[in-house]
Amino acid sequence: MAEEETELSDKQKKEIAKWFLLNAPAGEIQYVAKDLKSVLNNDDVYDEAASEAFPVYNKSHMICLEMPGRFGDVLVTSYGELQGNEYLDPKTAQVAIVDHVKQVCTEVRPATDEELPTPYVEEYRCALEAEMLKYVSEAYPKGSCSVYCINGKDVEGPGNDFELVAVISAARLSPQNFCTGSWRSIWNIECKDDIQVLELKGKLQVGAHYFEEGNVQLDAKHECRDSTMFQSPDDGAIAIASLIRHHETEYLASLEVASYLNLPDATFKDLRRKLPVTRTLFPWHSTSQFNLTREISKELGIGK
Amino acid sequence: MEAAMGLMRRMPPRHSETALSALLSLLPHNSSDLLSQVDLPLQVLSDDDSGKRFILCEYNRDADSYRSPWSNKYHPRLEDAPYPSSKLRQLEIEANDIFTVYCDQYYEGGISSVYMWEDDNEGFVACFLKDGSKTGQGRRGYLEEGTWDAIHVIEVGPEEETTRYCLTSTVMLSLTTDDVSSGTFSLSGSIRRQMNMNLPVADGHLCNMGKMIEEMEGKLRNSLDQVYFGKTREMVCTLRPPSEVLPMRLPDS
């Protein structure tokens, strides 16, 4: 065993701390933070690591925070990020100021005109958001969604392209059952105004973590594409939402079938048989001091 | 230490090695505890003399060398290293032979090793390890890449008519599939269980230990289904219930 290890520099410790925080499963970063603080035993290093890691984690997991003042919830995403800790909620046209490390929204202010899309784009965005909200409230018991304009928000009239992104985020924490999970969908919608075509690109990511007798984690990802025509903001919105609903439902079904129904039998049989080929338990009793292996091999009918 | 084990329980299993080295560098004084309590995917080395491969773990390690169960020599060579007594070594040799046959029967491939050493209580400890992975199309399709590593550590009490055996088993499982319609799917992790039994020594240590291991692996195989698949699937369905269930609103928990 190596003798006295050279002490790690603060910078190295900070990088390690960040790594642990960033790799926390959905919804578990506060638990990881607690254990990490104890292991690090150095509040300054921890604080620095946390200030760098939490924003990245929060955006990547698209956490949902409650806004003070009855404005509802806001999703913390890179699409809605205005500045380091300011996030736009397009639904209410409010900007939430967020404390990343505490994972709370500390205050709210109205969005300025420059921060919002033009009325032309807003019509599309709003119509889609309304359809998405309907879909999400039906399909996800505890899901949130937002629709942002990420390109072309200054488009004034028809003939120009713009891009929207619809995100869905759902998380479930059940620490008393030692189980957590998350679902994240990111749908990019390119609106090709001149040819009245909408191109969709979806990225779905599902995760689950079970930690009663050990540490078991699921990480599943899926990408898909589709496109549709549109005439107006409203029918475009309905078409998109229905495509999204269709793809997500299909993905869930194929997860069930391909992975959960087929895997257990197929995989476990491949990795470990339930019983040896002989269909009986292993003949341990043939254990005599010396001819052990030969006797067993004879019993099992294998040459050795 | 408890906090360190807490972290290991939350980090993605595929990054366990990185997580463990990070913890070792943050807590150098707890290294022996960490190394003996954290299970990592198993690694293998080839024996110089016979070319047969053996599994590396804390139980056959001294400094940076590992003892082969086939030749009983350390790789790389080491002076003043611990060895089991010749009586125990006999048992170890038999155990390795018989465990190889057992693994062939159940796993149809993979590498196994058994290590034994005397402990302070006039008993001994035996560690049975099995390493194996399969890639490509399984015979029945679907399986893309899967590994099942098992570590069974048995503490054997002092020899009396009825001897006490304490088994701690860890199975590390990893499954990845990649198929067009469902994208990538990766399920991995480890489960640990314990079992204690008092068995007549007349039946022979190997027979007793072997039966315990077989029983434990059978149980783990069944509950792996429940745990790995059952629990994670339950969570996914809670997040987004399949369409047939939708009309029923789930209670808020």
Mean pLDDT, rounded, for B107-133: 84
Stated pTM of the model? 0.84
The residue behind tokens 């290293």 is B81
Query: Contact at 8 Å (CB) between B125 and B100?
Result: no
pLDDT at A300: 65
The count of domains in chain A is 1
pLDDT at A265: 58
**H or E segment at A120?**
helix A119-139
Q: Do the domain assignments include residue A285?
A: no
pLDDT in tens, B63-107: 889 999 999 999 888 888 888 888 899 999 999 999 988 888 888
Q: Is A208–B246 a contact, with Cβ atoms under 8 angstroms apart?
A: no
Size of interface A-B (CB pairs under 8 A): 273
Dihedral angle sign, alpha carbons of residues B237, B239, B244, B248: positive
Q: Do the domain assignments include residue A138?
A: yes
Q: Where in chain B is the domain with CATH 3.90.1150.210?
A: 84-239
CATH of the domain at A182: 3.90.1150.210
Q: Do the domain assignments include residue A32?
A: no
In DSSP terms, A22 is beta-bridged to none
A172 touches chain B (CB under 8 A): yes
pLDDT at B250: 45
pLDDT in tens, B228-237: 778 888 888 8
Distance, in Å, from the CA atom of B115 to the CA atom of B99, rounded to the nearest integer, reads 11
Q: Do the domain assignments include residue A27?
A: no
Nearest partner of B188 among B57, B39, B59, judged by Cα: B39
Tell the CATH superfamily of the B84-239 domain.
Answer: F-actin capping protein, beta subunit (3.90.1150.210)
Mean pLDDT, rounded, for B45-56: 86
Task: State the angle between helix axes of A43-61 and A29-40 in degrees (0 to 180), rounded to the nearest 10.
Answer: 160
Q: Do the domain assignments include residue A240?
A: yes
Query: pLDDT-derived band of residue A62, with 50, 70 and 90 as boundaries?
Result: very high
Which residues of B are less than 8 Å from A258 in CB distance? 142, 177, 179, 181-182, 185
Which residues of A are less than 8 Å from B9 in CB distance? 211, 214-215
Q: Is the pLDDT of residue A258 over 70?
A: no
Cβ atoms within 10 A of the Cβ of A51, count? 12
Tell me which chain A residue has its CA closest to the CA of residue B102.
Answer: A282
Q: Is A300–B105 a contact, with Cβ atoms under 8 angstroms apart?
A: yes
B236 touches chain A (CB under 8 A): yes
Query: pLDDT-derived band of residue A242, with 50, 70 and 90 as boundaries?
Result: very high
Tell me which chain A residue has its CA closest to the CA of residue B109.
Answer: A271
Distance, in Å, from the CA atom of A302 to the CA atom of A297, rounded to the nearest integer, reads 5
Domain ranges, residue A265: 117-271
Q: Is the pLDDT of residue A155 over 90?
A: no
Angle at A158 between CA A155 and CA A164, to 5 degrees: 55
What torsion do the CA atoms of B207, B210, B216, B218 make, to the nearest 10 degrees? -100
Q: Do the domain assignments include residue A218?
A: yes
A8 touches chain B (CB under 8 A): yes
